[in-house]
Structure 1
Amino acid sequence: MNDTVPATHTTPARTVLLRGGRVHSPADPFATAMVVEGDRVAWVGSEGAADSFADGVDDILHLDGALVTPAFTDAHVHATATGLALTGLDLGPAASLADALDRIRDHAHAHPGDTVLLGTGWDTTDWPEQRHPTRAELAAAADGRPLYLTRVDVHSALVTDALVDRVPGIGRLDGYAADAPLTGDAHHAAREAAHSSLTAAQRTGAQRAALRHAASLGIGSVHECGGPDISSEDDFTGLLRLAAEDHVPRVTGYWAEAVTSPDAARRIRELGAVGAAGDFFADGSLGSHTAHLHAPYADAPGTTGSARLDEDAVAAHVAACTEAGLQAGFHAIGDAALTAVTRGVHRAAERVGTARVRAARHRVEHAEMLDRDAIEAFAAYALTASVQPAFDAAWGGEEGMYSRRLGHERARALNPYAALLRAGVPLALGSDSPVTPLDPWGAVRAAAFHHAPEHRISARAAFTAHTRGGWRAAGRDDAGTLVPGAPADYAVWETGELVVQAPDTRVANWSTDPRSGTPGLPALTPGIPLPVCLRTVVGGRTVHVRPNE
């Protein structure tokens, strides 16, 4: 791509003409050029018409056939944890218990100055040993130092005794066991103790690494899901400050804390949050056996998980947030947790009015075990389903973790994206990074090729949910699409032929017929390489250029 635009800007360019490519825009399905004035899209149209702008612009970006799309929005991330996984100990690639211990040992030797060793990503599901390491094994691998390792779903953690010693009274907290993963309150206390070892510089470095990685993937904005159980106020406000000051993607912050009074709502706003939402836990996760179910787990018959909020608490939170003009939201995965949330929202609507609840655009994160009644409630109260298609890609299918936890019948019903869209439920896509990696095109593909064909949605619908849907989930209707007047948040891609996928369940129902009048997208059939991001622009500022472009 021949480029006369500097790699970065200290101020947004006055006027930029992009030409000679393909522009994904509902304003013109055949557009090959676009003009950006300052931080807004000014025009979208044909290459011939672009000639009239050539003499009046400050910069010209020659696309050489590249594709321009709206930048992606990842609607659920944890920036600091993502950065730590990118720059530190990530056990996701570990193929066995022995491999995991070797990786811990290597990390400990490479970081002799770390007072607490931090890691993430372990998952015993496919390990041949079928067990997690003991505390004695962890202590030996960590040279006796405090060690904190979150499971891949971040809802349980392995620790060494040296870390336990840093948390007085942890043995009396819910979720503590002497030689098992910590869950619940014990896990949150251990996480707080571990993360308190980070210096401000380490935390900022991790956040910057996460946001710059997001930019390299064509992500122009992320929704940070913070809260007292999973991060700290300093971590949250520091991230928002970094996003405001540095050339990185936008950050929309959610703080997961109960709103019990107007003062509580005011304090959440003062933190910079747009909502008391995100990971406000109604339950845990399926992988850690803490998602709250109506019927016991198939592989743990004695448990139905953990209920962290009941419908009374949900109703109080939603009503208070609605009256304060603040978004409410919850983390809810299991069917019992989703029942508590939807019944609580119904009770809040009885108290403050359905129209006000709908207008507030409250949201639910993950929303995996939805039955028909829950989907109807989501539609009735305009609840946004903030979902992660990579969960199905990683854990779905007959041999996946979902089936092991729930049995095939219940597992097949998870993540019913098509039913949500048919009911008119607003959909926003994300990754829950570092639970699954930042990978927007991968998420679009995972939604289009869900393990259960009846839950598949078109690539176009998934793309919209991962661009415009994220903005709408945060209360903005004027962004996430390349039309005149929209924010100039876009990405430039190296990709192959563009196609249109019909919104049905056939695996390879693609069309290249231009008579469809529908903007095309890259073919996302499994096995085909995903598009490569060449450039990401946020508000007219370039935040990423591919090296050696």
Structure 2
Amino acid sequence: MRKARVLVPADVLFTGGAVFTGRDEPLQGHAVAVTGGAISAVVPETEASVWIGPDTRVVDLDGSLLSPGFQDAHVHPVSAGVELLMCNLSDATDAADAVARVQAYADANPDEAWIQGGGWSMDHFPGGAPLRTLLDAVVPDRPVVLMSRDHHSTWANTAAIRAAGIDASTPDPVDGRIEREADGTPAGTFHEGASDLFDHVRPKIGADLAYAGLLRAQDELIALGITGWQDAWVGTGLGGVQDVASVYRRALRDGTLRAHVVGAQWWERSGGLDQVDEMISRRAEFAALDGGRATLGTVKLMVDGVAENQTAAMLTPYRDLHGHDTTNRGLSFIDPERLREIVTKLDAAGFQVHFHALGDRAVREALDAVEAARATNGATDGRHHLAHLQIVEEAEAARFAELDAVANIQALWATHEDQLDELTLPFLQDGAEARQYPFGDLVRHGARLAAGSDWPVSSADPMDAIHIAVTRVAPDREAEPLGGPHQRIDLATAMAAYTSGSAYVNHRDHDTGHIREGYLANLVVLDPDPFTLPADEIHRSTVTSTWIEGELVYSRTS
């Protein structure tokens, strides 16, 4: 029982709604007091009045839900913000609309030597591969290079292909593929590492544009209730940004970074183990810059590609259009033996490893690497996590808890939609649908969950993703739950993944991710309370306000 007399009144008092503390069902009939940027008490409503002083701001939730602020465990804010400021195709409804948006942008920006941006959807184009001629028809005289929404493919016009010196004789890189016409001429789509063929000629993103992109992205994320995130690519080259770390460094210096950020340093897979020493230096530099608002204690490893362009690493072969097995099982971007060596060294150096692991073979190879690190180094507090997890064998699902590996889920993808149904499932083996994003199996096997969006690959809205995690069906869509009803998770588990689960991955579970006395008042108010809604209406719950360290940083009404 709390003491009845309070010497220091609260700065803010939340009352009149349920309180999700970061796990289990919400508390009913409780109030939350905030003092000096931290949570000073969680008390029964009957005791709340003693926390009210003459300057206390009383927030009547009026039946809304108070939750810890969301944390996105896998997101690309800098490139997402830059794309919003460039040729942005993420809202295009079909191929014709995408082309029209390119033309409108080119017409509005006649002085730009190259048209750059991204956000096009593979399912808008036959075979997921748009043609150069579509762009040539609207921008014939300037190079155009546009990243796909999932950032695993590039769409280019003829002028860009010529400027890069690419032709029918250009071989596919070992980590990518060029879509070709009958005579070998590049058709306009470049997958995975083939996208890098433009890097030596296309203009780089300037420092000011990259900085503006981060600030724009931060505004977008805070409005969705996101108070912290893990940037899944702090390196060079993503979306043309040359040095993501420098963008965060500038934001820290200017005092404009409001969210708490963990940066995953990018592992250049063509480089050697000497990268570890360089990463240690960058980690130490950031540790000295600020009181923990941004850190670089994580390393990102790309184990494979994506299933829709058949570069995700699979245990079984992809099929062709006629249902026959091919010789393609996708790409392991890092040799498995080499991967084990890299992870073991990173783990010994105190780094967390953030794996991109989408296919079932990639998941196995990543878990094998974690197991090898544990065998050599013993148990550490690395909190290594595997992101995406589109296809996971049942035996591998059981290994997460055994190895203290975290399942970093992008739940928005766990539903029937055109890209999955048209570009992926028809080319996988029989029974593969049952293994798509098996969240239910992971939970039953004791895996710890974190959650992220991969924005700008897909929407950054946590409530949209949480809706699908619970239902496995997109709002207003008539479809069977992907993988079967047993792959659903309950609302409290999905909310925990986006709050306390991601805080754990970010090594911020000591002061964020929970509503608990002494924790930072990083909070979000959701209306309607999603716990009061039918499962198929969870998406209606939206953010009305976001608070960081007790300060109102977003209000839907302001």
Q: Check the 8 A contact 1:70/1:481 in 2, yes or no.
A: yes
Cα distance in 1 for partners of 2:127, 2:454 equals 25
Name the residue aligned to 1:198.
205
Cα distance in 2 for partners of 1:167, 1:236 equals 27
Name the residue aligned to 1:511.
none
> What secondary structure, in the 3-state scheme, does the structure 1 residue paired with 2:137 have?
helix
Q: 1:112 to 1:379 in 2, by over 3 A?
A: same
> In structure 2, what residue type is equivalent to 1:477?
D
Name the residue aligned to 1:286.
307
Name the residue aligned to 1:220.
227
> What secondary structure, in the 3-state scheme, does the structure 2 residue paired with 1:157 have?
strand
Which of 240, 250, 264 is equivalent to 2:278?
Answer: 264
**Is the aligned partner of 1:343 residue 2:368?**
yes
Name the residue aligned to 1:487.
520
Cα distance in 2 for partners of 1:336, 1:266 equals 30
More deviation, 161-170/360-369 = 161-170
Cα distance in 1 for partners of 2:545, 2:451 equals 21
> What secondary structure, in the 3-state scheme, does the structure 2 residue paired with 1:385 have?
strand
The CA deviation at 1:199 is 2.3
Identity of aligned residues (%): 25
Name the residue aligned to 1:154.
151
**Is the aligned partner of 1:418 residue 2:440?**
yes
Q: Check the 8 A contact 1:277/1:363 in 2, yes or no.
A: no
Q: Check the 8 A contact 1:233/1:271 in 2, yes or no.
A: no
Name the residue aligned to 1:36.
34
Cα distance in 1 for partners of 2:120, 2:509 equals 39
Q: Check the 8 A contact 1:15/1:57 in 2, yes or no.
A: yes
**Is the aligned partner of 1:334 residue 2:355?**
no
The CA deviation at 1:95 is 4.1
Cα distance in 2 for partners of 1:475, 1:40 equals 18
Cα distance in 1 for partners of 2:546, 2:127 equals 42
The CA deviation at 1:427 is 0.9
Cα distance in 2 for partners of 1:416, 1:423 equals 11
Name the residue aligned to 1:352.
377
Name the residue aligned to 2:555.
545
Structure 1: gaps (5+ residues)? 1-12, 499-520
Residues 441-464 of structure 1, C-alpha deviations (whole Å, 9 max, x = no match): 111111111222121111110110
Matched residues, number: 507
> In structure 1, what residue type is equivalent to 2:319?
A
The CA deviation at 1:527 is 4.7
Name the residue aligned to 1:239.
248
More deviation, 322-331/221-230 = 221-230
Name the residue aligned to 1:86.
84
- What is the TM-score when the length of structure 1 is the normalising length? 0.84
> In structure 2, what residue type is equivalent to 1:239?
Y
> What secondary structure, in the 3-state scheme, does the structure 1 residue paired with 2:53 have?
helix
Which of 494, 502, 508 is equivalent to 1:462?
Answer: 494
Q: 1:346 to 1:335 in 2, by over 3 A?
A: same
Name the residue aligned to 1:503.
none
Q: Check the 8 A contact 1:253/1:275 in 2, yes or no.
A: yes
Which of 11, 19, 28 is equivalent to 1:23?
Answer: 19
Residues 387-442 of structure 1, C-alpha deviations (whole Å, 9 max, x = no match): 10111236489945432232551122111111111222221111100111111011
> What secondary structure, in the 3-state scheme, does the structure 2 residue paired with 1:106 have?
helix
Q: 1:35 to 1:387 in 2, by over 3 A?
A: same
**Is the aligned partner of 1:297 residue 2:295?**
no
Which of 429, 442, 459 is equivalent to 1:437?
Answer: 459
Q: Check the 8 A contact 1:240/1:253 in 2, yes or no.
A: no
Name the residue aligned to 1:535.
545
> What secondary structure, in the 3-state scheme, does the structure 2 residue paired with 1:373 have?
helix
Name the residue aligned to 1:102.
100
Name the residue aligned to 1:184.
192
Cα distance in 1 for partners of 2:61, 2:397 equals 43
Cα distance in 2 for partners of 1:312, 1:271 equals 31
Residues 361-381 of structure 1, C-alpha deviations (whole Å, 9 max, x = no match): 111111222112322332221
Matches within 5 A, 1:503-518: none
Q: Check the 8 A contact 1:274/1:474 in 2, yes or no.
A: no
Cα distance in 2 for partners of 1:94, 1:397 equals 15
